[in-house]
Structure 1
Amino acid sequence: MFDARPALTRIAFCASDRPEAQEGMAALVARYGGVPESEAQVIVALGGDGFMLETLHRTMSLGRPIYGMNRGSVGFLMNEYSEEGLIDRINSAERAVIHPLTMVAIDSHRRQHRALAINEVSMLRQTRQTAKLRISIDGKVRMNELVCDGVLVATPAGSTAYNLSAYGPIVPIDAKVLALTPISAFRPRRWRGALLSHTARVTIEVLEADKRPASAVADNFEVRDIVEVHIGEDRSVSMAMMFDAGRSLEERVLAEQFSG
């Protein structure tokens, strides 16, 4: 099929502060040139998954697709690093469009803190004592008291990150669901979480907040001494990640479910 999209040739490069990422960026800029991000058709980010998240947050307002190259540790969201054939790889890449979560966290002084999360919003205990949380979905209380280390709401893109480490389900990218996953639940001990529609609005209240303080984290943005948090998907914001042909994010998420 004929692809009417113009070829992507104007590239902006950015890299984490790891030496191998900086060296890789220098080599790629020397070979392909580079333009400012505001003038680019695509942004190439060199680093690990954490740097990919940082780049997505930082360039969100530009609306540029991000093509990641792994010069970090994990690299689930990144393509393999190579200096060869970058223009061809970018132009044959598959895109994954993702939507972030909006977090509105209210602290003990009733101040509101807003942030976007690409992977997950998590509530975490701040002290040695477990947190006590009440969970409501679309205004209806679904769990009156969850005693735990925390709980998180993950996007499909984030379901293979912290959510998976907390034994939450892996969610296909196009499933239009969110994962609600407890972290070390003590009571009810056997509760493993829930899958929610992407339109769901989640409210988490901190019970006994003075005695059992909790923090709220949207990706790498943290607010402490929270009394309640409201979480929902923001479809008005779209971000595109690019993956080499045959190695789409959808394929990676599927493969992850069959890995050892």
Structure 2
Amino acid sequence: MANSIAIYGGSFNPPGTRHRAIAEMLSNNFDEVIVVPWAPTHDRRIRYDVAPVYRATMADMTFRGMERVRVELFDLDSDDTLPSSDLSKELGLIGDVWHVVTAQMCQGGKKGESAVHKEWQRGDAMWKQLQFAVVKNVDEEVDPDDLPPKCKIYATDRDGGNDAIRERIFHHQPVDDWIIPEVLMYIRRHALYSGAPQTRTTRFTLDELRPMIYADPYNPKSQEIAKQFPHEDRDHPNLIVVIGGDGTMLRAIREHWRLRVPFYGINTGHLGFLLNSDMPTELLGQALVLEQLSLLHVDTVSPGGETKTSLGFNEAWVERATGQTAWIEVRVNGRQRLCKLVSDGALVATPGGSTSYARAMGATPLPLSTPALLLVGNNVLFPTDWKPVLLPLDTKLEFRTLDPHKRPLMGYVDGVSHDEVHSMSIRVSSVAAVELAFDPHHDPAEKLARIQFPMPEGGA
């Protein structure tokens, strides 16, 4: 018998205890529940809306730790929402699939005037063909004639829809019963739904320390510092303490970004641009500075046409795979900007990665909070005197080899090889981001200045 799967789509803007209770109820009746936050739609303006990255973070927080429940962010990371009828195909689901809708969405169904009929692509056919899990309030009256031909009804006694939560937050009214504590803290520190501009730099105070320790296993100093955190909580951490260098931080981010808790770095490496310089005297009660930084979404296409998607924090690049120089076409937002870049390679870096490989190629390092990307060429022969370019954060870039047989390219994301590639597309992810935590006295500008103005050993 095929597993029964409930696809629970919605805006989850923000997700609340009602949504979590519905997911729990569904998980008791289905083998698997897949939560799919929808992408923003161009035809509906949402009051007090927030960027997709915040919605993705709150969804991961709200549904974390639930048995038989997982969150899929592919729709939220796209430009347009995928038709609900196509979600099962996108997820590769075959068998006993049910689509979760509210009873309000079924009103008018007997006349073909429900929200499913009007708003879903091929709504009339989907109404007749798909299986629906209809969620209603316990005291809500539902006309049986309004229901789809294939449906099951589930009732919840939880209040707190998206619109009501946003209104309460905007008017500074309590929402403690409607949102889980972690999400409420996240909303408050980023001033979400308040009408104020959302900022990438904020403050964060711990009243309880539940650290997950991620230490460089090859650095004795890292291991020694790790012993000073005897009470580790790997199941429910509220801070990921990374002990090592920038490379250790990159590995920690790659493995644990979806935990959606801040990363606090302690540098035992060299420069440690992404980490604090010293072991903290006290973390509890400190107003840590948080920098929310987005990851790169990278799609590579192999010579055989296979597409691979990955995420990077620092950079993504292509480089020559043989002794021949690379011939690379560079497109920016779909427009050809360099018809033939003759070089050893080309790279896109985030501000967090600007002090690494990009700097070695001649780019100027950027402060972490800079809303920009760096496009850099490696040993450029043509165009003559072409220099690194600073681009807006929402830029989409593509590298493509002009001669895959004689001048093949290798692809890399944060130093991880993607083997030979025909092309690489790079953009900032709409859903993947991390918060880096720094001590109040930490001065990233001073650390950056040490890179920009290097002093000789023993200098003043």
The reply to whether TM is greater than 0.5 is yes
Counterpart in the other structure of 1:86: 282
Letter in 1 for 2:225: G
SS at match of 1:56: helix
Superposition deviation, residue 245 in structure 1: 1.6
CA–CA separation in structure 2 for the residues paired with 1:43 and 1:218: 23
| Cα distance, 1:173 vs structure 2 | 2.6
Q: Any conservation in 2 of the 1:94–1:248 contact (CA below 8 Å)? A: no
1:63 Cα offset (Å): 0.4
Q: Which residue of 1 aligns with 2:377?
A: 182
Change (3 A) 1:95 1:250: farther
Per the alignment, residue 19 of structure 2 pairs with none
The answer for the alignment partner of 2:338 in structure 1 is 143
Could you give the per-residue CA deviations for residues 201-249 of structure 1, whole angstroms, max 9, x where no partner exists?
1011111111111111110321122111111011322201111223244
Written as runs of structure 1 = structure 2, the 5 A alignment for 1:194-209 is 194-209=389-404
The 1:235–1:253 alpha-carbon spacing in structure 2 relative to 1, beyond 3 Å, is: farther
Q: For 2:336 and 2:289, how far apart are their aligned partners in 1?
A: 40
Quote the Cα distance in structure 1 between the aligned partners of 2:389 and 2:454. 23
Partner of residue 154, structure 1:
349
Q: CA RMSD in A?
A: 2.0
1:81 Cα deviation after fit:
3.7
Question: Against the structure 1 CA distance between its residues 257 and 72, is the aligned structure 2 distance closer, same or farther, given a 3 Å change threshold?
Answer: closer
- How far is the alpha carbon of 1:87 from its aligned partner? 2.2
- The whole-number CA distance in structure 2 between the counterparts of 1:4 and 1:209 is 49
* Cross-structure match for 1:215: 410
Equivalent position SS for 1:129: coil
Equivalence map 1:97-246=2 (5 Å): 97-246=292-441
Aligned residues: 252
Q: Retained in 2: the 8 A contact 1:96–1:249?
A: no
**Matched residues in 2 for 1:155 and 1:197: separation?**
11
Deviation at 1:168, TM superposition (A): 0.9
Aligned to 1:14: 214
TM-score if structure 2 supplies the norm length?
A: 0.52
The separation in 1 between residues aligned to 2:440 and 2:212, in whole angstroms, is 21
Correspondence for 2:139:
none
Which of the two has greater helix per residue? 2
2:248 aligned with 1:51, yes or no? yes
Q: Is the 8 A contact 1:173 1:253 kept in 2?
A: no
1: CA distance between counterparts of 2:323 and 2:288? 47
1:34 is matched with which residue? 232
Matched residues in 2 for 1:236 and 1:200: separation?
A: 16
Q: CA shift at 1:133, angstroms?
A: 0.2
Deviation at 1:257, TM superposition (A): 3.2
Given that residues 317 and 412 in structure 2 are in contact (C-alpha distance below 8 angstroms), is that contact kept between their aligned partners in structure 1?
A: yes
Quote the Cα distance in structure 2 between the aligned partners of 1:224 and 1:144: 24
Shift of 1:42: 0.5
Query: Contact 1:95 / 1:248 at 8 angstroms: preserved in 2?
Result: no
CA offsets 1:95-123 (integer angstroms, 9 cap, x no match) = 11100111100010000111111001111
Change in Cα spacing, 1:194 to 1:65, as seen in structure 2 (3 Å) is same
Report the 3-state secondary structure (helix = DSSP H, G, I; strand = E; otherwise coil) of the residue aligned with 1:253: helix
Letter in 2 for 1:21: S
Whole-Å separation in 1 of the counterparts to 2:451 and 2:331? 30
| In the alignment, structure 1 residue 75 sits paired with structure 2 residue 272 | yes
SS in 1 for 2:283: helix
Higher strand proportion (structure 1 or 2) = 1
Three-state SS of the structure 2 residue aligned to 1:230 is strand
Tell me how far 1:91 sits from its aligned partner.
2.6
Give, in angstroms, the shift of residue 130 of structure 1. Answer: 0.9
Structure 1: tracts of 5 or more residues without a match: none
Query: What is the alpha-carbon distance in structure 2 between the residues aligned to residue 5 and residue 78 of structure 1?
Result: 18
Aligned counterparts of 2:208 and 2:321: Cα–Cα separation in 1:
46
1:250: Cα distance to partner? 5.2
Check the 8 A contact 2:206/2:286 in 1, yes or no. Answer: no
TM-superposed CA distance for 1:254, in Å, is 5.4
Matched, 1:64 2:264: no
What amino acid does structure 1 have at the position aligned with 2:273?
A: F
Q: Is the 8 A contact 2:205 2:287 kept in 1?
A: no
